[in-house]
Amino acid sequence: MSTLKFKTNIRCSNCVRNVSPFLNKSDDIEGWSVDTESDSKVLTVETDLDAEEVIKIVSEAGFNAEPITE
């Protein structure tokens, strides 16, 4: 299990509510959260998936995600 972080355009509680079903349906995602208070709207995902797979899930929900490398 790894922790991946993404800069997103998930900006508010309604956006979080819209992306929730997509992230929650994946058995490979242990947990996730979005810091809607930060300028980068950081999505943090605990998962066995790689970054591209998480980006695809977020995209299916109608949002953008860009990996943050630390």
How confident is the model over 6-34, as a mean pLDDT? 95
Structural domain tally of the chain? 1
pLDDT band per the 50, 70, 90 thresholds, residue 25: very high
Residue 61: name the closest of 13, 10, 11 by CA.
10
36-41: average pLDDT: 91
- For the stretch 53-70, pLDDT in tens is 999 999 999 999 999 986
pLDDT of residue 31: 96
Percent of the chain at pLDDT exceeding 70:
99
Contact 47, 4 (CB under 8 A): yes
Q: What is the CATH number of the domain that holds 45?
A: 3.30.70.100
Give the domain extent around 44.
2-67
> In terms of pTM, does the model score above 0.95?
no
Evaluate whether 54 touches 47 at the Cβ level (below 8 Å).
Answer: yes
